[in-house]
A and B are shown apart, each in its own frame.
Chain A
Amino acid sequence: MELLRHFRSPDYARAVLDELHRITTRHWVIMEICGGQTHAIMQYGIDQLLPEKIELVHGPGCPVCVTPLELIDKALAIAAMPNVIFTSFGDMLRVPGSHQDLFSIRAAGGQVKTVYSPLDAVKIARENPDKEVVFFAIGFETTAPANVMAVIQAQNLGLTNFSILVSQALVPPAMHAILGSPENRVQGFLAAGHVCSIMGTQEYPPVAEQYRIPIVVTGFEPLDLLNGILMTVRQLEAGTCEVHNAYPRVVTQEGNLPAQAMIRKVYQVCDRQWRGIGMIPQSGWCLRPEYGAFDAEKKFDVGHIQTQESEICISGEVLQGRKKPHQCPAFGTLCTPRTPLGATMVSSEGACAAYYNFSRSGIAE
């Protein structure tokens, strides 16, 4: 906590803000990739303190938000099965499928448990040999090591009653999708610090070069974010497009090599759907065929489930930085954290929920 205090220091924040105000001469659009960054920006009111010319747009890096509705419906179907204990990170419980959420499954007698780590789900499987235990393995590169570790541990223990429902997304393909779109407005990226702590920074120089865009690996404390923004604006003003690391206390160039090796052992790259955005080629991980026994989608008969998204919800455009949450006709009225239409309103990392909880469009000015 003592360390964190320095990264929340009002004096340091003021100094960085002064420098930002001094050097910013033009309107710049910067996207923070990660939902955790969006949350911190809103939580500390960082967006209100920046020069008016700097516009932050919120990226697709909320794992709860981009999990396809169809997969959530599959999760609900599995969780409702009589012999299943369905385990999940907490914020997935409130995400609505087409008709209900995991809370309602639980209320109807389904066994749904919140876990803090996928390894807890393995423990539950071990303690309940007569039940099928399923873990909802969602997340970006950050959660992958723990998710694959759960599979490896289950395999080592010889567990046949454990499986994972995989929804793993990858950041660089999403950046390509955003930057390659004709409607793209993003001129600089704050890359997601915790994703890079696993994967390192080497995936980004080709992106920076191809789209002529500066990318700064950024952390999650107010000073981390302000410093990341400053390093991005410096590049934008100077016309450079390099990859810089503003989170060196956590991120190295090569990343966490043992974690990467473990991920490669269990997962392979595949095409995947992003909620609100659509299919992005080679943008996810799924289990390798040799780990098929741990694949909940194969183990349970849910292949017939097909689902359409809400027609009002603009979460796809929000996730790509084209629209702000309060530009949605349903924002704060039809769609609130208690009655979310799209996933960006559900997770506390979702851009719509962050806007709703911390500002609600212009109130806090």
Chain B
Amino acid sequence: METIHMQGPVCPIPLKHNETIVMGHGAGGKMSQELIRDLFQQVFDYEALKVGNDFGLVPLPADLPRPGRLAVSTDMHMVTPLFFPGGDIGRLAICGTVNDIAMSGGIPLALTAGFILEEGLPMQTLAQVAASMRAAADEAGVQIAAGDTKVAEKGSADQLFINTAGVAWVPDDIRIGGQYARPGDKVLVSGTLGDHGIAVLAARGELGFDADVESDVAPLNHLIAAVLAAAPHTHVLRDPTRGGLGTSLNEITHQAKVSIWLDENRLPVKPVVQAACEMLGFDPLYIANEGKLIVICPAEEADAALEAMRSHPYGQGAALLGEVRAADPGKVLLRTLIGGTRLVDSLSGEILPRIC
């Protein structure tokens, strides 16, 4: 039997665990504080966070048009893989909420960010995601004013989930929403459909072929400001994320009790996205976008709105898709390439690849 040599106190010094996330990072003690100080506050060096209170104070800019209301939204983000061509979960989390609140036509003021981290997540991954969030927030011109972190046991969460919430200031004279679509309005979109969904599918390596396409994930608040300057009587702004354009337009027809008519030959779809959809039996109308904007505005402002979008980096592929009508309320109808007409329904569940 080996001899045990005792050399003074043997109580081991705890490891620092600065390589991976462990349960202690979510316990609220010193390890949590270190994670916040050494990682999050390095990237998110906003005044509201530095003070260290349970809340973040967000001063209203002095030049905000008054009176007004707050638009509020929240969004959960989980995506596999965390990093994909054109973006990552961090950029997605910021843009998702910035876009949701910007669809009010208002001015985004602040965001919050909540993280659920899976035990074992490399610290380096978290740092990369946080840096990407900061870059997206800077691009949008919005600060992150509050945050929270919890750690889930290995296997209870898939690497990293992010919740973001946000508020925007909506001056009282802005009335934008799905319920305001009117017969005669034109329906526009800011660019090609389905890029994000196909980029993520391709990045998972499940397609069995390469699809050279990047996610369109982008903050749209500046694009929206340009549209509203050019087309001030815009009735609806909507970002067609999960469920795609088809599902978003269906929501609008139900809200406003109108129908929307589309021309299939006007739908902007990248050839690589179209090809991937053909092979899998998908319809680009139902594939997710993360940086596209639907604009529904009076016919007389449609050209100006299109022009404004096309002058912006995120709206270069903008297109007129069709129009709003009074008949057949609640329906989206599509004039097909060869002149037939078909119903475009909402997506009913998960998109499933077809057998043959």
Partners in one complex: yes
Describe B's contact surface by its main secondary structure. Answer: loop
Q: Name the contact of A44 in the complex, choosing from B207, B274, B342, B349 (C-beta under 8 A).
A: B342
Bound Cα distance from A364 to B342, whole angstroms: 6
Which size class do B's interface residues fall under?
20 to 34
A42 and B342 in contact, given A1-B274, A347-B354, A349-B354 (Cβ under 8 angstroms):
yes
A94 proximity list for chain B (CB < 8 A): 349-350, 352
Residue in contact with B342 in the complex, picked from A140, A143, A222, A359, CB distance below 8 Å: A359
* CB neighbours of A138 from chain B (8 A): 355
Q: Does B278 contact A (CB under 8 A)?
A: yes
B308-356: which have CB < 8 Å to A?
A: 328, 331, 333, 336-343, 345, 348-350, 352-356
Q: Which of A1-43 contact B (CB under 8 A)?
A: 1, 4, 8-10, 13-14, 36, 42-43
Q: Which of A14, A47, A91, A93 has the most chain B CB atoms inside 10 A of its CB?
A: A91
Quote the shortest CB–CB distance from A352 to chain B (angstroms). Answer: 13
State in angstroms the CA–CA spacing of A348 and B337 once bound together: 20
Whether the Cβ atoms of A348 and B354 lie closer than 8 Å is: yes
- Report the Cα distance A91→B342, complex, angstroms: 22
Contact of A90 among B208, B341, B348, B352 (CB under 8 A): B352
- B197-225: which residues lie under 8 A (CB-CB) from chain A? 206-208
Looking at the assembled complex, report how far the CB atom of A254 sits from the nearest CB atom of chain B, in whole angstroms: 21
Residue of B nearest to A49 (CB): B340
Q: Does B68 sit within 8 A of A, measured CB to CB? A: no
- Residue B85, interface by CB 8 Å: no
> Is A357 an interface residue, CB under 8 A from the partner?
yes
Residue among A8, A116, A337, A364 with the most chain B CB within 10 A? A364
Establish whether residues B356 and A10, one from each chain, have CB atoms under 8 Å apart when the complex forms: no
Check B275 for interface membership: any CB of A closer than 8 A.
yes
Is A116's CB under 8 angstroms from B336's CB?
Answer: no
| B271 is an interface residue with CB less than 8 A from chain A | yes
Q: Are A13 and B339 in contact (CB under 8 A)?
A: yes
Q: Is the CB of A359 within 8 A of B337?
A: no
* One of B337, B340, B352 near A93 (C-beta < 8 A): B352
**Which of B207, B328, B338 lies in contact with A10, CB distance below 8 A?**
B338
Say yes or no: A358-B342 contact (C-beta < 8 A), given A94-B352, A363-B331.
Answer: yes
With A91-B354, A143-B355, A349-B354 as contacts: A45 and B340 at CB distance below 8 Å? yes
A155 at the interface (CB under 8 A from B): no
Judge if A64 is at the interface, Cβ distance under 8 Å: yes
- A306, chain B: closest CB distance, angstroms: 26
Residues of B within 8 A of A360 (CB): 343
Are A64 and B338 interface neighbours, CB within 8 A?
Answer: no
Tell me if B281 counts as interface (CB < 8 A to partner A): yes
Contact A43 B336, CB 8 Å, known A94-B349, A363-B328, A364-B342: yes
CB within 8 Å of A: which of B169-191? none
CB atoms of A46 and B338 under 8 A apart: yes
In the bound complex, residues from chain B placing their C-beta under 8 Å from that of A89 are: 353-355
Asked whether, in the complex, the Cβ of B354 is within 8 Å of the Cβ of A363, the reply is no
Closest to A12 in B: B338
Q: Among A45, A49, A143, A336, point to the contact of B356 (Cβ < 8 A).
A: A143
CB atoms of A64 and B336 under 8 A apart: no
- Which chain B residues in 104-154 approach chain A with CB under 8 Å? none
- Residue-wise, chain B 253-287 has the 8 Å CB interface mask toward A (1 for contact) of 00000000000010000010011001011000000
Residue of A nearest to B340 (CB): A45
A360 to chain B, nearest CB (A): 6
Contacts of A335 in B (CB 8 A): none
| Cβ B340 vs Cβ A63 within 8 A | no
Q: For the complex, give the distance between the alpha carbons of A337 and B342 in Å.
A: 17
CB of A329 to closest CB in B, whole Å: 21
On whether the beta carbons of A117 and B208 are closer than 8 Å, the reply is: yes
The CA-CA distance from A11 to B230 in the complex, in Å, is 37
How far, in whole Å, are A46 and B338 apart by their CA atoms in the complex? 8
Which chain B residues border A347 with CB–CB below 8 Å?
A: 354-355
Instruction: Please determine whether A44 and B340 come into contact, CB atoms closer than 8 angstroms.
Output: yes
- Binary CB contact string for chain B from 18 to 40 against chain A (1 if under 8 A, 0 otherwise): 00000000000000000000000
Cβ of B355 and Cβ of A349 under 8 Å apart?
yes
Complex Cα spacing A8 to B271, Å: 15
A181 CB to nearest B CB, Å:
26
Q: How would residues 81 to 110 of chain A score, 1 for a CB under 8 Å from any chain B CB and 0 otherwise?
A: 000000001111110000000010000000
Q: Name the distance in Å between B207's Cβ and chain A's nearest Cβ.
A: 7
Assess the A357–B355 pair: CB atoms within 8 A. Answer: no
Among A64, A226, A359, A363, which residue has its beta carbon within 8 angstroms of that of B355? A64
Shortest beta-carbon distance from A56 to chain B in Å: 13
Residues of A within 8 A of B352 (CB): 90-91, 93-94, 114, 348
A-B contact pairs, 5 of them (CB 8 A): A46-B338, A93-B352, A357-B345, A358-B343, A365-B341
Per CB-CB distance, the 3 closest pairs between chain A and chain B, nearest first, are A45-B340, A90-B352, A13-B338
Give me 4 other A-B pairs in contact (C-beta within 8 A), A13-B339, A45-B340, A222-B337 excluded.
A89-B353, A90-B353, A347-B355, A364-B343
